[in-house]
Amino acid sequence: MASALARTILARRFHVSASRHALSKFAMPAMSPTMTEGGIASWKKKEGETFAAGDVLLEIETDKATIDVEAQDDGILAKIIAQDGQKNISVGSPIAIIGEEGDDISGAEQLAAEAASEKPSTPAKDEKAPEAPKPEPTKLAEPPKQETKAEVPQGDRIFASPIAKKIALERGIPLAKIKGTGPNGRILREDVEKYQAPAAAAAAPTAAAPQSSAGLPDYTDIPVSNMRRTIGTRLTQSKQELPHYYLTLDINMDKVFKLREVFNKTLGEKDKSAKLSVNDFVLKAVACALADVPEANSAWLGEVIRQYNKADISVAVATPTGLITPIIKDVGAKGLASISAEGKALAKKARDGKLQPQEYQGGTFTVSNLGMFGISHFTAIINPPQSCILAVGATQPTLVPAPEEERGFKVAQIMKVTLSADHRTVDGAVGARWLAAFKGYLENPLTFML
């Protein structure tokens, strides 16, 4: 019995003393491999309240969704350190004190105070980076001019060490604005860390500007959410570092529309809410084209190009807090009805902020459809490490040549699509082959059934 209790204490890393059986610090968990910080959406248990294994303790806001955190064991919530609404809490920082039912929780306040006193040690490290305003003297008129000249010209390839890229991504620093001190101008870790000082220094005069100018228009400052910050950082990095190119094609959707009408009539007799959308056909055609041209179903990993055997398609969904891309797994092996049902369920979870990390991480190809908003044509930014993203526009009636018709022309439903591809992994000819295969499947949708 004693050994079992000892194992439990060690497993849960409890703080043990003579006055209480077991109290421990409950840290901000990492809900995904890329998560570095999160926020407290709401606590579902109150201080002093007991919980059982499987109970939801709290909701955590990550950079992509709001996720329930369940208790792994029975216990009691002795003290809450991070309150509802608190944001930017680093992974591993204490957010509560927990214990076992029957424990003496009088020491929870002291343990919480200890945990709070540990916090300044982490930010202190961060403060040193901005505090290194040794560049402050460099703030004379001439050095900044030289620095801007030394910046990487727009469109040139940026060379940076992996750790420098990682730090820049986490801190939202554009690599194009950093002058590298490594061999051949390569950006090193120290270059990224030193860049923060001028950024912080530049922020001071900017903040002071509104006070000096009285004629500013009315405005509202909206706090940047974790999700919006991540979107901004990742898409900026993608646009700067990935050599995008774009291929656009017109597709005749007449046969898709007719087949969709037949399918929806049949489905409607069984379930009135079950209806196929044009996007369901698009996703199936994407998967079939990826099977024909697997080079487009790939990812750039630095030393290797990874080519995927299945089409796990990320579908862009607009939510009140920003864009997120839930994944429909192995689309090629699924029928249109399954794709439709799964897509609707994932879109609802995305808008409700209830997606689990495994539901939006790990896709191999992305589809972004703005056709329902009447947008005829647009280009999309690649979601790294994926190689491609397909931008789908609205289907519009268009006059097309028709020699078989008496008038020599006819009206066809034409949809314009644009493929954004990473030239490191997908050459132009490969992208063109993939688009041709995609077009072939949509213009002859019965091939889905073969």
Active-site residue set: 423, 427
- Among candidate residues 143, 147, 130, the one with its CA nearest the CA of residue 197: 130
- Residues 168-203, buried b or exposed e (16+ Cβ, 10 A)? bbebebbbbebbbeeeeeebbbebbbbbbbbebeee
CB neighbour list of residue 298: distance below 8 Å, 6 or more residues apart: 305, 306, 307, 308, 364, 387, 425, 426
* DSSP state letters, 15-28: B--SS-S-EEEEEP
- Angle subtended at Cα 76 by Cα 72 and Cα 79, rounded to the nearest 5 degrees: 115
Chain centroid to Cα 358, Å, comes to 12
The CA distance from 234 to 240, in Å, is 10
DSSP labels, 411-432: EEEEEEEEEEEETTTS-HHHHH
| Measured distance CA(50)–CA(44) in Å, rounded | 11
Q: Spell 372-390 as b/e; 16+ CB within 10 A means b.
A: eeeeeeeebbbbebbbbbb
Burial of 152 (0-12, 13-18, 19+ CB in 10 A): buried
- Cα 427 from Cα 430, distance rounded (Å): 5
Helices (H) and strands (E) in the chain, counts: 11, 18
DSSP state, residue 158: P
Token pair in block for residue 20: 């209480």
Task: Answer yes or no: are the C-beta atoms of 281 and 336 closer than 8 Å.
Answer: yes
Contact partners, residue 118, CB within 8 Å, separation at least 6: 94
CA distance 28 to 14: 16
DSSP-based three-state secondary structure for 243:
coil
13: left (phi over 0), alpha (psi -120 to 50) or beta: left
Local structure of residue 82 (DSSP, 8 states): S
- For 147, the token pair is 């620095």
- In terms of DSSP bridges, do strands 365-369 and 388-401 run parallel, antiparallel, or are they unpaired? parallel
Give the whole-angstrom CA distance, residue 131 versus residue 2. 51
